[in-house]
Copies of this chain bind each other. A is one copy, B any other.
Amino acid sequence: MSLNAKKITHVCLDADDTLWENEPNFRRTEREFYALLKHKLTEREAEDKLFQTEMANLDTFGYGVKSFTLSMIETALNTLDGEEAARAARKILDLGKNLLQTPVILLPGVKETLEKLTPKYHLAVITKGDLLAQERKLEDSGLLPLFGRVEIVSKKDTSVYRSIFRAWNVNPENILMVGNSLKSDVLPAVAAGAQGAWIPCEDNWKHEQTEEPENPSYVKLNALTDLLTVLL
């Protein structure tokens, strides 16, 4: 599979772990969380219990740091008792605030790559999560002036991509969607008619993991900087 680069007029990018580091911050926070439960649960047990809580809460809470923080608190309160539970919950509130205030660190070459693409392509961001948190990260990233459009959505499925492309009034085959999550960024955008580029990241959250298809309908790149090779 290769891209039909001649048709591409719009390059859409996922944000977390495509433009900047995100999952490593979550993984680090999770490890601090597991340590709070270590008298009661192994790291593996704590991981399973947190993941189950997050999945049970997903429809109610949605994605993002606040949801993650609430699920960590719930898991701790269901694992620990008395003052130990209260102390863990206080600590988790701090972990959540720290995560929300983590400075944005761009992935290598991101800014230079986008600056080289911007004379030839319309650039846009399509990302999911907390509205305020994503706005703040975009602002902090310094990349905002490069993007003609920013869409922050509560989930990324085929119908969401379809309605975004329709609202933009752009033919999906003229759109390249780029991201680190096969499940959220690439496959549903491709199903909505766009072209897709997948840039795997090592630290993907379990919920974002999915099987690689045998006959991929997207290209796989090693890094965002590879867009220069395929698009310029």
| Whole-angstrom distance between the Cβ of A219 and the nearest chain B Cβ | 30
- Nearest chain B residue, comparing its CB with the CB of A88: B86
A73 at interface, CB cutoff 8 A: yes
- Tell me how many chains of this kind the complex includes: 2
A119 at interface, CB cutoff 8 A: no
Cβ–Cβ contact B100 & A61, under 8 A: yes
- Nearest chain B residue, comparing its CB with the CB of A97: B60
Counting contact residues on chain A (CB < 8 A from B), the size range is 35 or more
Cβ–Cβ contact A82 & B77, under 8 A: no
| Whole-angstrom distance between the Cβ of A188 and the nearest chain B Cβ | 17
A115 at interface, CB cutoff 8 A: no
| Whole-angstrom distance between the Cβ of A133 and the nearest chain B Cβ | 8
Please name all residues of chain B whose beta carbon is closer than 8 Å to the beta carbon of A83 when the two chains form the complex. Answer: 81-83, 85-86
Nearest 5 interchain pairs by C-beta: A62-B132, A85-B86, A132-B154, A66-B66, A82-B83
